[in-house]
Structure 1
Amino acid sequence: MRASHRRAHPRTRPLAAVLAAVLVLGGATAARAAEPPTADRSARHEVLGVTPVTEVGSFGQQVTKVVIEYPTRVDGRRLSPSAFRVEDSGYNFRFDPASELGNLVDRRIADVYTTDDPARLLDTDRPRRPGRYVVLELADDPNGGWTVITSLCPTFLCSVRVNPDQLTQVTQLADVMGPRGTVVSAAAPQTAHRITEEPIDREVDQFRSGSLETETGELLYDYRLPDRYDPRKRYPLVVALPGHGMGYDGQNRGVQLASDMLALAWNQREWTRTHEDVIVVAPQNRRVGKTVEGAQVVELVEDLTSRLAVDRRRVYATSVSYGSQLMWEAFSTRPDLFAGGLLTGGFPADADELAPIAAAEVPMWITHGTGDHLLPVANARASYDRLVAAYEARGLSQKRIAHLARWTEYGDDAFSLPDRHLAAAPTLEDPETLQWLLAQRKRS
């Protein structure tokens, strides 16, 4: 399971200036200095297309495979990882300045095989079949291939988007042979091929886009129904509330699905360790303030529960960073709607928000990183303490309070990448927290 480095929509047009610089530098490397011998010097180099395959993990979306299209069938038995080179940007928006985007790093190829249709990668990990597509399986490595980049900075906080010019490129270092020993494509160690096709992402591609006209304006969202959705059944609904940078800024539609695992974990058994079918919705508010956006989240929940097969006793919310403000607002104004919440790396609650939550006894599990560099852990811990105090003021037993209010503080060693603000990473990597949320039910 690629829990820490997993990987929505890189586009495929080259950045001309960056590419030119990359190719000039690349041509000077020893790896490209000598052309390997070919079985047929008259054979042409024929790469028809390059398709990236991405996955989303704890810290965001990353290119994990590259599919090369050839004109005729390839002999998979003759393929070797050493026959190819894959490079990608080493930039990670969480740590690096945008100026690092054009710096390429090598991606290690762990496996190589053929398939007859790249679409098989949507539901099969390694669809090995005779065919004219060569799949390069990349080793799990946090260095390189991240698809989310810094976007607009309308305030002191920047937005992020999926890179429309993903820098993934592949070079064929040796001949690619056909089943009869003919050369399908001659080696071309000085030619780097950029992405030409739309990406394949098994989880992101299952989401649908939607919009809702609320009392305060349009709310964009993405949602996913269970694979075997049956309108006669009733399913839990998880509302994933993303961070500030994932709000809609006019050019980053759907980035909240690619930034981390907040929305995607709930339909993957390797993350939940359950066979539960879940409806997930990830709103992308325009970041105009928590009062407006909290009300929009409430309207969205009411709309979906009226149209879809939602179990009204099992409506949950989970959040990252700024999304916590919307959770506090929605839970305190309409606690009747929610059966529980998982709040990670968030803002503190306002003083007037805790009493309504305590009165309705809405279970909440709050997690935070000790070394959070954006939102001090002391403020989050203080909100937890005040929530416990609100329950104590109502006379609840310590056992009952322990069920309704949970706190987990993650030390630096719990983070596999150095973003201690993203407490969602270690939180979602622990199936216990996901299972706890899905186990909550409203009593009436």
Structure 2
Amino acid sequence: MKNAIKLSLLLSLACLSGLPAVSPMPAMAADETAPAPRTLVSVSATAHNYGFGEAISRVSVKYPTPIDGRSLSPSDFSVEGKTISSASVGTSPDKVKGESSGPYVILSLSNTNPQSDKPLPAPGEQGKERHRDLPEKGSQSGSRMGPPMSSSKALPDLSFSLKQTGLVWDTKGIPYLPSDTLYTARAAEPELQGFQEGSYEDPVTGAAMPYYLYLPKGMERGKTYPLIVFIPDASADTNDTKLSLVQGNGGTIWASREEQAKHPSMVLVLHYSKDLVDSLGMMTTDENKWTPGLTLAYDTIRHIVDTYPVDRNRIYGTGQSQGGMANIALSDRYPDLFAAQYLVACQWNVEEMAALKDKNLWILVSEGDTKAYPGMNRAVKLWQSLGTPVATSSLWDSHSDKGAWNHLTGAMLQQGRPIQYSVFAGGNHMYTWTIAYNITPIRNWLFTQTKDGTPAFASTRGLSKEEKRSLA
């Protein structure tokens, strides 16, 4: 009797959904064994490096038969602690191709930026939040808002649990029933593939700096390649070296398939560990003075340049907060090191920044950054007083789309100046780099720069017409 009721319900659901009805099954004799339940085969997931850090972006569910995508809904599944934004089917677990059927159900997860695009409240206002890399106490410099002596940041948790909560129909009109079975796994990290972990030990002090190095695929003997040097903010200053890769996308985006197709290059991600903080002190401080940590960073870069086939005419520096400050300090002391730099959410001793007046720079800060914004405003005025023209614009909308970014950057470059200074409307210190490295035209601009001023024509290969027009 119960089996008959269940079949009746399934037939009714099939009619309502517009899918073929389930064929009636013969009634089982009392001594017959029930057939094994139809269920999914396996689950897997992929993590993505967002500007705000690494998180699971996609979960793939494999079934033994092709699934019909017509009635598929995100509500047919639940992923613990996550919001499913869409559900689709396909023949591969890796990509959504708009297919109508396939053995894989691909669930896209919604991951929102935890950093606000609004300025932080003024000191003393109720509800004020403090950045994790700007604690009230414990800075080496003694400043209330100085860099931290340690970070509590941890690697992201990429484990997940999934349930099928609704009917999932295959192409023959037979459903896979909801189940309380919990499927657990850990997400893969394809964007980290190709990065090799290494360490440089200073022969004088014995201090060792961990790093990750990406080498472009298909490197040719006798050919040299551009080098991108990325230094993260101080929240990554722990002994988990991998944090420098996953705290955001400032290091990994240069090694993406799309970026390497346009700009084959090496990528060096430096890691300033807690052990180094304890033994050498912070890499950068509010006093804006040269530190042993900066010496170690420079020596590590030189080690890579001397060991690998680096195009010394095209070494590019970039970093956020601590990493941007380190970039400025390195360029101040070694003006021939970088062909160009992308400086994000940072500032330095303004008088020392006079040494950068003839450099190729793109600077990006947020209007609500209480240190970087006024600091870079002073630097721009200094450079202008020294005769260096600086390209500026009205405040940028950080929510711009691809076309708007091409327009905004193109308008800056049309001013024909070596230094570009862009400011997000609103925002705050940490918000800046959650967006900064997603701006494709700025990444393209970096690769067009050379130390000797000769055009880097090869750097525009693979660019769209709109991207080329933004660089013209």
- What is the TM-score with the length of structure 1 in the denominator? 0.69
Question: 5 Å matches for 1:112-191?
Answer: 112-115=89-92, 121=94, 126=97, 134-138=104-108, 141-142=111-112, 155=148, 158-164=151-157, 166=158, 168-174=160-166, 186-188=177-179, 190-191=180-181
Asked if 1:403 is matched to 2:399, the reply is: no
The Cα of 1:420 is off from its aligned counterpart by: 5.2
Q: Secondary structure at the match of 2:68?
A: helix
1:343 corresponds to which letter in structure 2? L
Distance 1:295 1:156, change over 3 A: closer
Residue by residue over 1:371-396, the C-alpha shift from the partner in whole angstroms, topping out at 9 and shown as x without a partner, is: 126x351122213333444x43xxx6
Q: How many residues are paired up? A: 360
Contact 1:293 1:326 in 2 (8 A): no
RMSD: 3.9
Q: Secondary structure at the match of 1:203?
A: helix
Query: Which residue, 373, 377, 380 being the options, matches 2:373?
Result: 377
Distance 1:269 1:81, change over 3 A: same
The Cα of 1:200 is off from its aligned counterpart by: 2.3
Query: Which residue, 215, 218, 235 being the options, matches 2:208?
Result: 218
- State how far apart, in whole Å, the 1-side matches of 2:268 and 2:78 are: 35
Q: Secondary structure at the match of 1:76?
A: strand
**Percent identity of paired positions between Structure 1 and Structure 2:** 18
1:278 corresponds to which letter in structure 2? S
2:283 corresponds to which letter in structure 1? G
The Cα of 1:441 is off from its aligned counterpart by: 0.9
Q: What's the counterpart of residue 242 of structure 1?
A: 232
Asked if 1:341 is matched to 2:341, the reply is: yes
- State how far apart, in whole Å, the 2-side matches of 1:231 and 1:294 are: 32
1:210 corresponds to which letter in structure 2? G
- State how far apart, in whole Å, the 1-side matches of 2:68 and 2:389 are: 66
Distance 1:388 1:157, change over 3 A: farther
Contact 1:369 1:421 in 2 (8 A): no
The Cα of 1:233 is off from its aligned counterpart by: 1.6
Bigger-Rg structure (1/2): 2
The Cα of 1:202 is off from its aligned counterpart by: 3.1
Residue by residue over 1:82-109, the C-alpha shift from the partner in whole angstroms, topping out at 9 and shown as x without a partner, is: 5732334xxxxxxxxxxxxxxx343223
The Cα of 1:367 is off from its aligned counterpart by: 1.4
Q: Unaligned regions of 5+ residues in structure 1, if any?
A: 1-33, 89-103, 145-149, 413-417
Q: Secondary structure at the match of 1:323?
A: helix
Q: Secondary structure at the match of 1:289?
A: coil
Distance 1:388 1:437, change over 3 A: farther
Q: Secondary structure at the match of 1:111?
A: strand
Distance 1:383 1:237, change over 3 A: same
- State how far apart, in whole Å, the 1-side matches of 2:42 and 2:154 are: 24
- State how far apart, in whole Å, the 1-side matches of 2:191 and 2:60 are: 18
Contact 1:366 1:384 in 2 (8 A): no
Distance 1:63 1:422, change over 3 A: same
Asked if 1:289 is matched to 2:264, the reply is: no
Query: Which residue, 55, 58, 70 being the options, matches 1:65?
Result: 58
- State how far apart, in whole Å, the 2-side matches of 1:398 and 1:253 are: 37
Q: Secondary structure at the match of 1:285?
A: coil
Q: Secondary structure at the match of 2:332?
A: helix
Distance 1:76 1:266, change over 3 A: same
1:76 corresponds to which letter in structure 2? I
Asked if 1:75 is matched to 2:66, the reply is: yes
Distance 1:419 1:398, change over 3 A: closer
Distance 1:210 1:131, change over 3 A: farther
1:77 corresponds to which letter in structure 2? D
- State how far apart, in whole Å, the 2-side matches of 1:167 and 1:403 are: 48
Q: Secondary structure at the match of 1:227?
A: coil
- State how far apart, in whole Å, the 1-side matches of 2:96 and 2:300 are: 34
